Amino acid sequence: MASVVEFENGFPTVDSARAAQGEQDLRRAVEAYRFFYPTVSLEGIFQGTREAGAMDNESSLLFMARPRHVGFTLNSDTPYSGGILDLRASGPMVIDLPPGPLVGLVDDHHHRWVTDLGLPGADGGKGGRHLILPPDWDQPVPDGYFASRCDTWTAFCAVRVLPLGGDLPVANKLLSSVQFYPLSKSDDPPPYTFTDFTEQPVDCTCLRWEDNLEFWRVLHGVIDTEPAIEEMRPMLGTLAELGIEAGRPFAPDPATARLLTEAAQRGRDEMLVSAFASRRPDRMVWPDRTWEWAGLRPENGTFEREGSLDVEAKDRWFAQAIVTSPAMFRRAVGQGSLYWLAHRDQDGQYLDGGRNYRLTVPLPVPASLFWSVTCYDAQTRSEVIADQGQAALRSLFEDLTPDGADHVDLHFGPTEPEDGKGRWIQTVPGRGWFAYFRIYGPGQPAFDGTWKPDDMTALH
């Protein structure tokens, strides 16, 4: 329980004032942690990408995600590429896309949406040159570009390709034909390369920092090198009160270090409550199912609602996932993709890696492109790692539509059932897990409730 400030002659007593100040510092630190968690999360992507050998402005990683790739709710549905743009070094950066089923985005260093690319972008999948402008750019924008301004010097560009027909070689060839180069070198673009990391492990998360003092050291590194964004000034002021400020070294005394460590632990825990124990009524997809929306704000990629920022939706998303874009949250027939979250069974109990479950999916699934179910570890929020080595069942790659059947049963648990061959994902005893059901190109039945999957059913 919070202490009560005691007063003598209208002034706070020394001891009660000191106690109140300590509580104030902790409260501010927890709020700052939650506000800047997306920043540190993206820094995890940056550092993991660089550790894997990719070079800013010169090369990207390319991979079909597997359990060996640690990343918040990465999926194995489509090949990915991820590259870092250093606009301080390059000036305006061109992203040159060929025509085809590419889907991409650019987020700034604070994990804020800058622009969409490919099918959801201004080029609409027809190909085109996107131009990412640095914070200080004050020159005219040349003709022939889709221009967007980034508020930070460093940005992340993620591009994926829809492997239509399940043809991965063709998809990877298209994805690796995307080019990045400075506007100043557009007459003779330097080479840009993609390193295939499908068979190699990589960790692009902030898990190593998210519950300890290093979180604040990493955050200070970003604050110290990026412009002070106007809308962040109140929270930058909160950081300054805690000794985290641009132009000042991060050197907390022992008491402050203990406070910041406790705030990181509390902040992380509170964000996981938002992710997996939310009380928001609008999280539920259907009243008679336990499925929830992974993203709570379908209007945009910025978590804005009329008149305010939806902080619960922001916390919930970044505790589970990475990158933002309007296309990721849009709930429109035939457009984008739907992300549904299952972390409880039919009785409302959390999914347990030591139990067996069945998911009955009515057929046909209303997907104009394809659909999938992917299992994630509740602690790492990354694909489940088990001896099987597989965490996804995908209509593009697995046989999920038996001839003439009106449904398909998918299985999850530590042991493969007799009737689960090719339709089973192994889970790990002692580890909680959750699933995302994704529909690409969703049809009307996915919205009006005339089609819906069953709950995860625990088999007793």
Same domain, yes or no: 111 and 165: yes
Final residue before a domain boundary, out of 145, 170, 199? 199
pLDDT in tens, 359-371: 999 999 999 999 9
pTM for the full predicted model? 0.95
User: How far is CA 117 from each of CA 71, 98, 201, 390, rounded to the nearest angstrom?
Assistant: 21, 11, 27, 29
pLDDT in tens, 47-70: 999 999 999 999 999 999 999 999
What average pLDDT does range 281-302 have in this prediction?
95
Same domain, yes or no: 304 and 432: yes
Count of C-beta atoms within a 10 Å radius of residue 237: 12
Helices (H), 364-403: none
pLDDT in tens, 392-402: 999 999 999 98
Same domain, yes or no: 33 and 71: no
Residue 15 lies in a domain: no
pLDDT (0 to 100) of residue 336: 81
pLDDT in tens, 7-55: 999 999 999 999 999 999 999 999 999 999 999 999 999 999 999 999 9
Residue 20 lies in a domain: no
Give the pair of three-digit tokens for residue 81: 């590429």
Final residue before a domain boundary, out of 170, 199, 228? 199
Beta bridge partners of 334: none
Residue 127 lies in a domain: yes
Same domain, yes or no: 177 and 82: yes
pLDDT (0 to 100) of residue 323: 95
pLDDT (0 to 100) of residue 424: 97
Beta bridge partners of 66: none
Residue 4 lies in a domain: no
Considering its fold, how many domains does the chain have in total? 3
pLDDT in tens, 200-223: 999 999 999 999 999 999 999 999
Q: Is residue 2 predicted with pLDDT exceeding 60? A: no
Cβ density class 124-161: b for 16+ within 10 Å, e for less: ebeebbbbbbbeebeeeeeeebbbbebbbbbbbbbbbb
Same domain, yes or no: 314 and 237: no
pLDDT (0 to 100) of residue 334: 85
pLDDT in tens, 118-152: 999 999 999 999 999 999 999 999 999 999 999 99
Give the amino acid at 67. Answer: P
Same domain, yes or no: 321 and 177: no
Q: Is residue 460 predicted with pLDDT exceeding 90? A: no
Range of the domain at 157: 56-199
pLDDT in tens, 220-241: 999 999 999 999 999 999 999 9
**Cα separation of 24 and 297, whole Å?**
31
Q: Is residue 1 predicted with pLDDT exceeding 80? A: no
Same domain, yes or no: 32 and 95: no
Same domain, yes or no: 163 and 296: no
What average pLDDT does range 335-363 have in this prediction?
96
Q: Can you give the CATH number for the domain in which 155 is found?
A: 2.60.40.1610
